[in-house]
Chains A and B, each alone.
Chain A
Amino acid sequence: MDIHELRITAELAMLDLDEREMKVFEAEVSKTLEYFAQMNAVDVDGLEPTTHVLMEENRAREDRTRDENLSDRLLEEAPERQGRHIVIPNVL
């Protein structure tokens, strides 16, 4: 992977990497990609892609509301609130 691609990937992942980290990751990510290249080389013609290890059965849920409501507990975890709204800095 060249450094330009790595920069775009880091940007998409919202990672702020400095030059030293860039160097480290360039090597590490390249190694990971090589491993994927090995998998890519395997001939899988005619095989259905596996997207999940449980290929046998559907796992759908009935359209019924849960009894318990954890929303108050979850809201307590928010660092800043205004009424029941969660407050964050305006990032846009």
Chain B
Amino acid sequence: MAEYQSFIGLEIHIQLLTATKVFCGCRNRFGDEPNTNVCPVCLGYPGVLPAVNEQALLFSYMVARALNCDLSKTAYFDRKNYFYPDMTKNYQISQFHSPIGRNGWIEYETGGELKKVRIHDVHLEEDAGKSIHRGTATLLDYNRAGTSLLEIVTEPDMETGEDAEAFIQNFRRLVRYLGVCDGNMEEGSLRCDGNISINLKGKGLGTKTEVKNVNSSRFLKLSMNHEIGRQKRALEKGERIVQETRLWNEAQSRTEPMRTKESAHDYRYFPEPDMPPFRPSPAFIADVDARLVELPVYRKRRYEAEYGISGDQVQFLTEEKPVADFFESTVTAGADPLQAAAWICTDIQKNLNKLQIGLEESSLTSLRLAALINLVKEGVINRKKAELTLSLMLEEDKDPDVIVREQGWEQISDSGAIEALVTEVLQANPKAVDQIRGGDMKPMGFLTGQVMKLSKGQADPKLVQAVISGKLGS
């Protein structure tokens, strides 16, 4: 069997988190009553004048910069002409000749390995409205028409569905870290089409197909791998690949050709005469740079290298920027990094889930967490009591030392007090004592547990064990 090479490129659309639409002052909000956020501009009335949203430009330049693009010194808009009822003007304002960013690249991580994908361009455009087809009629809602949409086109630098899946997951984290998009693939605020071709190894790109309707990273992986297999089988049979758009059929787990019109697409792009070009000032570019953040993929690798945090923990810590920021400020406040990671990934998460709130909404601060971790480290309370302290901190909005004092939870590490407790337990359990004296260490755990119980959990368990051992000469 011949050896093939596959090439995957992605066209990603993200809805920008702006308050208003991209060319008019209508509210940009998901889920409102149909046709409430519309005006003469986004409904395409004649004689109106679109004006570009500066926040949308700022977000777009931030993404282009984060993707290492050459930034356009003169960005202008073009009209992309086509007829479709969800776009009332019969053209979409987009960018073609002079997009915001070009010739970029970005690294993503898959299986612990960094891979690089080149970025063809980043351009700003308007989204279309929504149509609902009901038999012979179509219902139109233009709330989404004219909302800001940023398209990112990659070069065909990925090879497998797994690559594409990892890339889109990395990309989703990136735009969420930048705060420009919520990255919700099910709701369509992050959408992705895959371009894919295969060819005999060393022969370069093949004839590509485009796969649409992929609304999760998993479906992206499945659809790309399915398409690789389908194209391979076709080539093996001596067939030619037809350049076409295909749809991912979720129920059947396969791609299918999309019904298309015979006439070839010709969007007849031309510069949008209603809007002057945008020339970013040095101050604007400085603002863009000031808003860039350490990208999640590098943050994750830094935590691994610097702190030795790995696996699910490092994944969880770096998934959302607020959590990563919280972790770092806890470390800055003097907590041991591994302890901070463990607390954030398990106990804090458990408590937040129980209270059904997010970390940012909770009363927990990084200073309080660092204080709690240090109370354990200094032996003031044991780990078990620290967990209870955390729950109360969240419920009562108090500092950990206040709770420990109020509850009287300070660990008993006074050896005299512990000796008294141990003596009591040993007298009550002569059988266990005999066993240990006879060389069978099994009841050690039981006896320690009894002492802890008697101390209402406040004895220092290490000290308890030491005292038992000392008394029984083991």
Interface residues of A (CB under 8 A from B): 8, 11-12, 14, 48-49, 51-52, 54-55, 57-66, 69-71, 74-75, 82-92
Chain A residue nearest to B136 (CB atoms) is A90
Would you call B273 an interface residue if the criterion is a C-beta within 8 Å of the partner chain's C-beta atoms?
yes
Would you call B179 an interface residue if the criterion is a C-beta within 8 Å of the partner chain's C-beta atoms?
no
Chain A residue nearest to B281 (CB atoms) is A58
Q: Are B138 and A91 in contact (CB under 8 A)?
A: yes
Q: Are B140 and A86 in contact (CB under 8 A)?
A: yes
Q: Are A71 and B36 in contact (CB under 8 A)?
A: yes
Shortest beta-carbon distance from A33 to chain B in Å? 14
Interface residues of B (CB under 8 A from A): 18-20, 24-27, 33-40, 43, 51-57, 74, 76, 81, 83, 85, 132-142, 263, 266, 268, 271-273, 275-279, 281
Neighbouring B residues of A90 by C-beta, 8 Å: 133-138
Q: Are A52 and B275 in contact (CB under 8 A)?
A: yes
A48 to B74, CA, bound (A): 10
Q: What 9 pairs between A and B have smallest CB-CB spacing?
A: A63-B55, A66-B25, A51-B271, A60-B54, A85-B139, A61-B51, A84-B34, A52-B276, A86-B140
Q: Are B38 and A71 in contact (CB under 8 A)?
A: yes
Q: Are A63 and B266 in contact (CB under 8 A)?
A: no
Neighbouring A residues of B85 by C-beta, 8 Å: 88, 91
Given contacts A48-B74, A52-B277, A87-B137, contact A60 B53 (CB under 8 A): yes
Given contacts A60-B54, A91-B85, contact A74 B276 (CB under 8 A): no
Q: Are A12 and B268 in contact (CB under 8 A)?
A: yes
A69 to B39, CA, bound (A): 7
Chain A residue nearest to B259 (CB atoms) is A92
Neighbouring B residues of A57 by C-beta, 8 Å: 276
Task: Give 12 A-B contacts (CB < 8 Å), ordered by A residue.
Answer: A51-B271, A57-B276, A58-B278, A59-B276, A60-B53, A60-B54, A61-B52, A65-B27, A70-B40, A74-B35, A85-B34, A87-B137
